[in-house]
């Protein structure tokens, strides 16, 4: 009798500890865990798994694989996850060229894909799908925010991005809201590590500021070389160029740089305070915007899984679309094309207790939606 | 386009070329003397950068880090030569490629295991930071000038070592007939270990110097390795002189291409399309140059075995 009672109590406490889930859910996560872009994928994985572990639910299984930033590898892994792992949902891709290779074929097989980072314009407009939810942003957004913020101070900006889908979206986004002139527009190779030639062009261009979209190692290399070059124009960028994953490696060369994002470690809301503290506790470092987006993605999945069975795709999609979770970004809802409507902030790189981090200094957009939603028919 | 900009870009090309030379010199020596294709050369570049970054972080001195990078890369080179490479000299090139590719994976995962996946911090020493004014009004970072200087010193040093010393004589003899110098009583095994460690130390030096400019992270060696192979194919396999000429040709072509092609397309197209097309063409330019050179001289510009 005593054993039965304690077993019952144990069962009750387990049921209350975890979020209730209607059916077991198997999630396939493809992300970049090795090579030049590994820092981004590791942050995304850690943020995602933090939310899953906090939920404490055994019914949710996550399969994680490394794409090494190679599109062909990502496609192979996706096939394997759909065909032999039989995943219900997929997520995790950081880079837009990989997302373009994987997402359309996965969503066509009626698997729901939730993006933690990449948001290529082609998938936000005419190529949108009811099975594709972008929990991060549409690629143009961070850059649009910087374009708008730059209007206050600058008249002639030199802009630069790598030559791949997100790079083109980046400069398009910046130009959509920037009203000044461009001193130059340069596309570099994805993964390029030496920027001497570009810095020479910046020096000769007569610009009053420089906007760079260079995520991961590219941003580290550029910012260090720029600091040594004797060019002292203000640097601007989306958060990707000056995110928490690269700041320690850039060092003080990044101090004072303005960048834009939908999130910062000091964004003032309860969910975010809890997230930043838990992330530091679990991994002993500050989270980046990639970790924050992935954490939100996992919580969105958990919220939908509590409402609907993943077997019933129609109901599960409807539950996802409600976005009924506490986002670390505060305001969050989905637009008609399943991309977020959210706020964007201007951040500045500061040093707090000897650690470089980003602090919010202004708001660029409130309830901002992407430019492609009207082209999406679904 | 001003003269100052052109001079700055030429220096950038030269600096890039000199950095490539440090990689290519070791690669071509090893290939020329031992007939070995060493894909793991990029890993030795990475070892140098990580050694420099971690020693500099621990001691606060870039210079100790630089010394550590030479020592660590040379030691790593000697160890893999004795443990792995030595078994490969008599095998065909496919076996060598497979074994040294395995070494890349071992080095990458081993480094990730020890240092983690996030890039390390390594900054330029205070002595070489900042920029100087050049004649013509251009400004140029002191550190990049120093890299050019080190590259030239290494080129001269290698020229003297190979042309004027007993060791160099043996290396040259080993290139032309390895069985004969073995028969003459030269300890060929030690010679090979020495040449391999020398090549590795040069790669480590390049890694440390470049690490201070770029980001020190796992996998940083592979893009450079590909370019170093392009260089030795253009320059002629086994030739130090070829490696020098090839490096500078590749460095200058790549830098000027990245800067002049988009500008050229800008004359006939709207800027944003020109930037895209120019960047795409610039990234294939060195391979076009390689194809043209190989069409005219299939053995490369200065082949040691021509």
B2 contact residues in A (CB cutoff 8 A): 204
A182 and A133, same domain (yes or no) = no
How far apart (Å, rounded) are the C-alpha atoms in residues B240 and B24?
8
Q: Are A80 and A89 in contact (CB under 8 A)?
A: no
How far apart (Å, rounded) are the C-alpha atoms in residues B290 and B146?
28
DSSP per residue over A38-101, as a string? HHHHHHHHHHHHHHHHHHT-TTEEEEEEE-TT-HHHHHHHHHHHHHTS--SEEE----HHHHHH
How much is the pLDDT for B35? 83
pLDDT digits (tens, 9 = 90+) for A290-346: 999 999 999 999 999 999 999 999 999 999 999 999 999 988 999 999 999 999 999
A243 and A110, same domain (yes or no) = no
Determine contact: B218 vs chain A, CB below 8 A: yes
- In B, minimum Cα distance to A38 occurs at B117
Contacts of A271 (CB under 8 A, 6+ apart): A326, A327, A328, A330
Share of chain B above pLDDT 90, in %: 50
What letters, b where the CB count within 10 A reaches 16 and e where it falls short, cover B152-189?
Answer: eebbeebeeebeeeeeeebbebbbeebeebeeeebebe
pLDDT digits (tens, 9 = 90+) for B37-67: 899 999 999 999 999 999 999 998 999 999 9
Grade residue A10 by pLDDT with cuts at 50, 70 and 90. Answer: very low
A38/B1 CB distance under 8 A: no
Q: How many angstroms from the chain centroid is the CA of residue B175? A: 21
How far apart (Å, rounded) are the C-alpha atoms in residues B164 and A370?
68
Structural Rg of chain B based on CA atoms? 20
Share of chain A above pLDDT 90, in %: 74
Grade residue A11 by pLDDT with cuts at 50, 70 and 90. Answer: very low
Query: A364: which DSSP letter?
Result: E
B279/A188 CB distance under 8 A: yes
Work out how many domains chain A is built from and give that number: 2
Q: Output the CA torsion B243→B249→B254→B256 (10° steps).
A: 150
- In A, minimum Cα distance to B276 occurs at A187
Average model confidence (pLDDT) for chain B? 88
C-alpha distances (whole Å) from A252 to each of A247, A282, A350, B122 are 8, 26, 9, 11
CATH of the domain at A9: 3.40.50.2300
How far apart (Å, rounded) are the C-alpha atoms in residues A167 and A140?
9
Return residues 117-176 of A near B (CB < 8 Å). 163, 168, 171
Element (H, E) at B198: helix B188-211
A110 and A166, same domain (yes or no) = no
B138 contact residues in A (CB cutoff 8 A): 203
A244 and A182, same domain (yes or no) = yes
B223/A193 CB distance under 8 A: yes
How far apart (Å, rounded) are the C-alpha atoms in residues B38 and B54?
26
Return residues 134-173 of B near A (CB < 8 Å). 138-144
Element (H, E) at A115: strand A112-115
B141/A225 CB distance under 8 A: yes
The structure tokens 């295991």 sit at B113
Among candidates A188, A191, A220 on the partner chain, residue whose Cβ is nearest the Cβ of B223: A191
C-alpha distances (whole Å) from B83 to each of B33, B42, B86 are 19, 18, 7
Grade residue A21 by pLDDT with cuts at 50, 70 and 90. Answer: low
- In B, minimum Cα distance to A32 occurs at B117
Least confident of A91-105, A236-250, A353-367, B119-133: B119-133
The residue among B4 and B108 whose pLDDT is bigger is B108
A221/B272 CB distance under 8 A: no
Handedness of CA A35, A188, A261, A332 (dihedral sign): negative
Among residues B56, B51, B58, B43, the alpha carbon closest in space to that of B109 is found at B43
A101 and A247, same domain (yes or no) = no
How much is the pLDDT for B1? 58
The residue among A315 and A191 whose pLDDT is bigger is A315
How much is the pLDDT for B120? 86
DSSP per residue over B58-85, as a string? HHS-HHHHHHHHHHHHHHHHHHHHHHTG
Q: What is the mean pLDDT of residues B5-34?
A: 89
A24 and A112, same domain (yes or no) = yes
Structural Rg of chain A based on CA atoms? 21
Task: Report yes or no on A51 lying in a domain.
Answer: yes
Grade residue A115 by pLDDT with cuts at 50, 70 and 90. Answer: very high
A302 and A159, same domain (yes or no) = no
C-alpha distances (whole Å) from B222 to each of A369, B66, B193 are 40, 21, 23
pLDDT digits (tens, 9 = 90+) for B81-104: 999 998 888 888 899 999 999 999
Planar angle of CA B139, A218, A283, nearest 5 degrees: 130
B123/A35 CB distance under 8 A: no
How far apart (Å, rounded) are the C-alpha atoms in residues A245 and A33?
13
Domain of A31, in residue numbers: 2-137+267-334
B120/A249 CB distance under 8 A: yes
| Tokens representing residue B188 in the block | 């060929």
How much is the pLDDT for B304? 60
A229/B141 CB distance under 8 A: yes
B126 pLDDT more than 90: no
Q: Output the CA torsion A29→A34→A36→A38 (10° steps).
A: 50
CA max distance for chain A: 85
Task: Report yes or no on A339 lying in a domain.
Answer: no
A148 and A202, same domain (yes or no) = yes
Q: How far is B294 from chain A (nearest CA, A)?
A: 25
How much is the pLDDT for B125? 87
A234 and A357, same domain (yes or no) = yes
Grade residue A39 by pLDDT with cuts at 50, 70 and 90. Answer: confident
How much is the pLDDT for A65? 95
Among candidates B124, B215, B279 on the partner chain, residue whose Cβ is nearest the Cβ of A228: B124
Among residues A38, A51, A278, the alpha carbon closest in space to that of B113 is found at A38
B214/A224 CB distance under 8 A: yes
- In A, minimum Cα distance to B122 occurs at A249
Q: Which of A68, A171, A204 has the most B C-beta neighbours within 10 Å, making it the best mutation to test the interface with B?
A: A204
A34/B108 CB distance under 8 A: yes
pTM assigned to the model: 0.82
Element (H, E) at B220: none
Determine contact: B287 vs chain A, CB below 8 A: no
Q: What is the mean pLDDT of residues B191-220?
A: 91
Q: How far is A197 from chain B (nearest CA, A)?
A: 6
Grade residue B271 by pLDDT with cuts at 50, 70 and 90. Answer: confident
> Is A157 strand, coil or helix?
strand
pLDDT digits (tens, 9 = 90+) for B242-261: 999 999 999 999 999 988 88
**How many interface pairs between A and B have CB atoms less than 8 angstroms apart?**
136
Average model confidence (pLDDT) for chain A? 90
Q: Are A167 and A262 in contact (CB under 8 A)?
A: no
Q: Are A221 and A254 in contact (CB under 8 A)?
A: no
Determine contact: B77 vs chain A, CB below 8 A: no
Q: How far is B94 from chain A (nearest CA, A)?
A: 23
Going by their DSSP bridges, the two strands A25-31 and A89-91 should be labelled as parallel
Q: Which of B12, B275, B281, B283 has the most A C-beta neighbours within 10 Å, making it the best mutation to test the interface with A?
A: B275
A231 contact residues in B (CB cutoff 8 A): 139
Contacts of A42 (CB under 8 A, 6+ apart): A33, A245, B117, B118
ipTM beyond cut 0.90: no
Share of chain B above pLDDT 70, in %: 98
Q: What is the mean pLDDT of residues A346-350?
A: 95
> Is B132 strand, coil or helix?
strand
Query: B88: which DSSP letter?
Result: G
How much is the pLDDT for A5? 46
The structure tokens 């500045």 sit at A348
Query: B112: which DSSP letter?
Result: H
Q: Which of A31, A156, A195, A249 has the most B C-beta neighbours within 10 Å, making it the best mutation to test the interface with B?
A: A249
Q: What is the mean pLDDT of residues A2-7?
A: 47
The structure tokens 């072509």 sit at B253
| Tokens representing residue A196 in the block | 């001497």
Grade residue A267 by pLDDT with cuts at 50, 70 and 90. Answer: very high
| Tokens representing residue A36 in the block | 């030049």
Least confident of B25-39, B189-203, B282-296: B25-39
Q: What is the mean pLDDT of residues B100-113?
A: 92
How far apart (Å, rounded) are the C-alpha atoms in residues B46 and B38?
14
Q: How far is A294 from chain B (nearest CA, A)?
A: 18
Determine contact: B265 vs chain A, CB below 8 A: no
The residue among A22 and B159 whose pLDDT is bigger is B159
How much is the pLDDT for B305? 56
What is the number of H-type helices and E-type strands within chain A?
Answer: 12, 13
């Amino acid at each position: 009798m005593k054993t039965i009672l304690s077993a019952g109590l144990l069962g009750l406490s387990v049921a209350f500890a975890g979020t209730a889930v209607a059916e077991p859910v198997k999630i396939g996560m493809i992300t970049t865990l090795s090579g030049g872009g590994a820092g981004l994928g590791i942050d995304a994985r850690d943020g995602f798994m933090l939310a899953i572990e906090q939920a404490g639910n055994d019914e949710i299984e996550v399969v994680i694989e490394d794409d090494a930033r190679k599109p062909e590898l990502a496609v192979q892994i996706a096939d394997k996850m759909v065909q032999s792992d039989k995943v219900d949902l997929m997520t995790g891709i950081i880079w837009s060229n990989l997302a373009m290779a994987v997402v359309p074929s996965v969503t066509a097989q009626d698997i729901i894909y939730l993006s933690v980072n990449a948001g290529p314009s082609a998938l936000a407009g005419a190529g949108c799908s009811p099975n594709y939810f972008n929990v991060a942003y549409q690629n143009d957004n961070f850059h649009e925010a910087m374009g708008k913020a730059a209007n206050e101070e600058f008249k002639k900006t030199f802009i630069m991005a790598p030559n791949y889908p997100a790079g083109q979206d980046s400069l398009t986004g910046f130009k959509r809201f920037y009203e000044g002139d461009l001193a130059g527009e340069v596309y570099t190779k994805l993964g390029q590590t030496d920027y001497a030639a570009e810095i020479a062009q910046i020096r000769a261009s007569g610009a009053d500021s420089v906007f760079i979209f260079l995520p991961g190692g590219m941003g580290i290399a550029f910012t260090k070389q720029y600091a040594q070059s004797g060019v002292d124009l203000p640097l601007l960028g989306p958060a990707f160029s000056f995110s928490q994953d690269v700041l320690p490696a850039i060092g003080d060369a990044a101090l004072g740089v303005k960048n834009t994002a939908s999130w910062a470690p000091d964004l003032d809301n309860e969910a975010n305070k809890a997230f930043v503290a838990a992330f530091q506790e679990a991994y002993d470092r500050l989270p980046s915007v990639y970790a924050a987006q992935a954490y939100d993605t996992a919580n969105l999945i958990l919220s939908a899984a509590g409402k609907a069975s993943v077997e019933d795709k129609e109901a599960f999609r409807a539950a996802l679309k409600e976005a009924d979770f506490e986002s670390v970004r505060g305001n969050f809802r989905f637009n008609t094309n399943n991309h977020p409507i959210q706020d964007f902030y201007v951040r500045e790189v500061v040093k707090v207790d000897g650690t470089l981090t980003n602090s919010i200094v202004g708001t660029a957009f409130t309830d901002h939606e992407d430019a492609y939603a009207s082209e999406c028919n679904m | 386009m001003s003269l100052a900009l052109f001079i700055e870009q030429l220096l950038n090309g030269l600096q890039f070329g000199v950095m490539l030379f440090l990689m290519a010199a070791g690669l071509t020596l090893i290939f020329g003397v031992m007939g070995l294709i060493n894909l793991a050369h990029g890993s030795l570049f990475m070892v140098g950068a990580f050694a420099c970054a971690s020693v500099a972080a621990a001691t606060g001195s870039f210079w100790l880090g630089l010394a550590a990078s030479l020592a660590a890369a040379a030691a790593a080179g000697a160890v893999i030569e004795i443990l792995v490479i030595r078994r490969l000299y008599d095998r065909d090139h496919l076996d060598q490629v497979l074994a040294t590719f395995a070494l890349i994976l071992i080095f990458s995962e081993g480094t990730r295991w020890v240092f983690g996946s996030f890039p390390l911090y390594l900054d330029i020493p205070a002595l070489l930071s900042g920029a100087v004014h050049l004649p013509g009004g251009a400004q140029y970072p002191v550190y990049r000038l120093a890299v050019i200087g080190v590259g030239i010193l290494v080129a001269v040093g290698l020229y003297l070592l190979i042309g004027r010393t007993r060791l160099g004589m043996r290396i040259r003899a080993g290139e032309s007939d390895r069985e004969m110098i073995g028969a003459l009583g030269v300890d060929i095994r030690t010679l090979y270990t020495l040449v391999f460690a020398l090549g590795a130390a040069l790669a480590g030096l390049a890694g440390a110097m470049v690490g201070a400019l770029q980001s020190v992270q796992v996998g940083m060696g592979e893009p450079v390795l590909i370019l170093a192979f392009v260089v030795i194919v253009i320059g002629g396999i086994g030739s130090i002189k070829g490696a020098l000429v090839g490096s500078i040709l590749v460095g200058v072509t790549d830098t000027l291409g990245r800067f002049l092609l988009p500008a050229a397309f800008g004359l006939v197209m709207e800027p944003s399309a020109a930037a895209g097309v120019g960047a795409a063409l610039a990234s294939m330019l060195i391979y076009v140059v390689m194809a043209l050179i190989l069409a005219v001289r299939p053995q490369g510009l200065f082949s040691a075995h021509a």
